[in-house]
Amino acid sequence: VEGTSHTRDVPDCPSLGGVLHMASERMSDREALVKICGGEDMARRVERVWDEMMDKKRLDLSSQRLNDEDFSFLLKGMHMFARTSGFQTERIKPFPIEELDFSGNELTHKGIGDVVQFARTQGSDATLIDLSDNRLDDEAASELARLVKNYSSIATHSFIHQLLLSGNNLGKNGATKLIQYAHWERDRYKNEREPPQFLKLDLSDNCIERPADLIDDLKSKRIKCTSRQDDECTVYLPDFMDQRDPMPDPPPRSSGPSRTFNRYDSGECFDFQKGRCGRGSACRFSHGGRGGGGGGSRGRDYDRRDDYDRRERRRDYSDDDDDRDRRYRRDDRDRRRRDDSDERDRRRRD
């Protein structure tokens, strides 16, 4: 009909500028992930670990020989990927995982703080944390103690059920701290309607001195720990008697005027490595397994002086030759000047 307009509904479509903007945002997210991960390789690892975690409901980083710095990059990357992928819509939302496996790596007390913080936030739904076969010692015990304490309200449970620390370098002091914290945290809630279950704390294959005496000492302080599973215990210590010899303490290093002489404090002897140290036991440097054994040969020192003498003689010869050449050139110039002067005088007379 003339004068009437017919319109057709068209579904809303993003403009070209909007599409480019979204692509730019996605590219920016990717670049940010690479930056926070410290490189492209770690960013790809984060993406792969994320997919496996969402599929298996467990975070498996076992037997990858990750060091402290690697863990820092990877866990930061996991946090960023959770936000950019749309999973992390709240400030803190635990990942849907039941286990955290960090075993078989090179984690030390310097990097354990990042792992513990992750376990108590994004990984707080996990009831099993495996940190076995790392390099954790007594200096890491203060951070590890946070894992055996009561979790905050963000988690679906208050306490973890298993903490596996076998194959590390924990000693008596670190083990005592962990067992005491684990007991007293659980003992506080023993009269509640649903008291927490015992903690399986695997400290086998560490460096704990006299483990049986340690258990007896803790029991005397009303700490309910045992190496045999018991319904009355708060801390179950499987294979606790299986320990390595304690690591030797480093030798003390004194300073000041009363310092005892220690030839190894000054490093390797360079002359000894070259086979020419003749100072013997009086040398303040280390005579290790390399170099000319037997403290070096004094004959090599004579050879070295002979080398110096030969270089000096060559230098003297060179200087003599230069002086001789300079004298010859000077004599030639004087001779040419006299010849020129005689030639001019002869021409004037003629």
Q: Are residues 341 and 227 in the same domain?
A: no
Q: Are residues 202 and 191 in the same domain?
A: yes
Structural domains counted in the chain: 3
d(CA 34, CA 39): 5
The per-residue pLDDT for 340 is 78
What's the mean pLDDT in 314-336? 67
Q: Are residues 205 and 95 in the same domain?
A: yes
The per-residue pLDDT for 65 is 93
The per-residue pLDDT for 309 is 56
Whether 337 maps to a domain, the answer reads yes
Tell me the residue range of the domain where 276 lies.
264-296
Whether 47 maps to a domain, the answer reads yes
Q: In this structure, what CATH number is given to the domain that contains residue 46?
A: 3.80.10.10
Whether 250 maps to a domain, the answer reads no
Long-range contacts of 108-113 (CB under 8 A, 24+ apart): 108/67, 108/68, 108/134, 108/135, 108/136, 108/137, 108/140, 109/136, 109/137, 109/139, 109/140, 109/143, 110/68, 111/67, 111/68, 111/69, 111/71, 111/72, 112/136, 112/140, 112/143, 112/144, 113/143
Whether 1 maps to a domain, the answer reads no
The per-residue pLDDT for 342 is 79
Q: Which two tokens stand for residue 197?
A: 């279950």
Q: Are residues 45 and 186 in the same domain?
A: yes
Q: Are residues 47 and 139 in the same domain?
A: yes
pLDDT of 261 strictly over 70: no
Whether 243 maps to a domain, the answer reads no
Q: Are residues 310 and 269 in the same domain?
A: no
Q: Are residues 190 and 269 in the same domain?
A: no
User: Among 301, 297, 273, 298, which Cα is nearest to 285's?
Assistant: 273
* Burial of 59 from C-beta contacts in 10 A (0-12 / 13-18 / 19+): buried
Whether 54 maps to a domain, the answer reads yes
pTM of the model: 0.63
d(CA 279, CA 270): 12
Q: 197 falls in which pLDDT band (50, 70, 90)?
A: confident
Q: Which two tokens stand for residue 285?
A: 């440097």
d(CA 60, CA 81): 17
Contact 82, 122 (CB under 8 A): yes
What's the mean pLDDT in 187-193? 78
Whether 102 maps to a domain, the answer reads yes
Percent of the chain with pLDDT over 70: 65
Q: Are residues 289 and 313 in the same domain?
A: no
Whether 21 maps to a domain, the answer reads no
What's the mean pLDDT in 151-179? 87
Domain-terminating residue out of 236, 256, 284 = 236
Q: Are residues 87 and 214 in the same domain?
A: yes
